[in-house]
Amino acid sequence: MRYSILIMFVTLLVIDASNAETWRGLEVAPENRCSPFDRKSQYPYPQSVEDEIVRSMGGKVYGPYTGRYFKTDSETDIEHIVSVSEGHDSGLCKATPEVRIAFATDPLNLTLAAPNVNRCGAGGKCGYDGGEWLPERNKCWFSHSVVAVRKKYGLTIDRAEATSLEEVMSNCSSFEMVYEDTHAEQMDLAGSGASNPLERYDTNNNGKITCAEARSHGITPVKRSHPAYEFMYDRDGDGIVCE
């Protein structure tokens, strides 16, 4: 099977007149950090994009990488399908500030993920590309999204990622996001402990939830809609704790 996929991958590689190797319309080239990278200053995005992501999924707070539903978006991270560091090293290092911000805020490149899935750690995505990390669920949607984002912004793709994504895409019958059934949704929410936030988040059992405790559980920033909020101190009264 792997041999036949390799043959298919090779046939999809094209050498154009300028000797540039391409795959599915993308130039195949090694990653190159042609200018310094700073996530916060070069690729900013507002927290409000999280609400846009939820709207795009019909109001569901859903993590497509694991098929998990969440009570609120305070329990999730904003996830860039093609990470900003990966985008930077694939061509955005030469882009204007406007293009970089467009990339960082583009709904095509945004989804939700639990903090342990999005961040660095055992099994976390951690800015890896599709040659280094693939999701547990929705591999077809993820792979297709990576290609679409890279095409839109004229980004290159390295050979290892192209090979990995081809193994996935060559066996896909659809590239749509798959939502787990509603029974699984209700079971997941029922097990989230959302109805008893002190039991879930109050590590030292003092009847309050601190920012340190919230961060250790990966729920920061905590919005007013989150069940933990009422047990926390919102110093400035803006409805968000531990920004």
In the chain, what are the domain boundaries? 2-169, 193-241
- 152: number of Cβ within 10 Å: 14
Query: How far is C-alpha 18 from the geometric centre of its chain's CA atoms?
Result: 34
Q: What is the pLDDT of residues 83-103, one digit of tens each?
A: 999 999 999 999 999 999 999
* pLDDT confidence tier of residue 243, bands split at 50, 70 and 90: confident
b vs e for 187-209, b when ≥16 Cβ sit within 10 Å of the residue's Cβ?
ebbeebebeebbebbbeeeeeeb
- What pLDDT was estimated at residue 224? 75
pLDDT bracket for residue 187 (50, 70, 90): low
- Encode pLDDT of 191-210 as tens digits: 554 457 888 888 898 888 99
Whether the predicted pLDDT of 43 surpasses 90 = yes
**183 C-beta neighbours (distance < 10 Å), count:** 8
Q: Any idea how long the chain is? A: 243
Asked whether the predicted pLDDT for residue 39 surpasses 70, the reply is yes
Tell me the pLDDT of the chain averaged across its residues: 88
The pLDDT value given to residue 240: 85
pLDDT classification of 115: cutoffs 50, 70, 90: very high
Tell me if 176 sits within 8 A of 57, measured CB to CB. Answer: no
pLDDT band at 157 (very low <50, low <70, confident <90, very high): very high
Least trusted range by pLDDT, from 52-56, 149-153, 220-224: 220-224
